[in-house]
Amino acid sequence: MAYEQVVTVVVAGYLPHVTTTVQDNPAEKRYEATVDGELAGFATYHLSGPKITLIHTEVDDAYEGQGIAKLLAEHILDAARDAGLQVIPKCPFMSKYIRETREYLDLVPEARRGEFGLDEEAS
pLDDT band at 10 (very low <50, low <70, confident <90, very high): very low
Nearest to 69 by CA among 95, 102, 48: 95
Q: How far apart are the first and last CA of the chain?
A: 32
Instruction: Say how many domains are in the chain.
Output: 1
What range defines the domain where residue 94 resides? 2-122
CATH number where 74 lies: 3.40.630.30
Tell me the pairing of strands 86-89 and 38-48: unpaired
- CA-CA distance, 30 to 61, in Å (whole number)? 19
Q: Are 33 and 72 in contact (CB under 8 A)?
A: yes
Of all residues in the chain, what percent carry a pLDDT higher than 70?
83
* pLDDT above 90: residue 55: yes
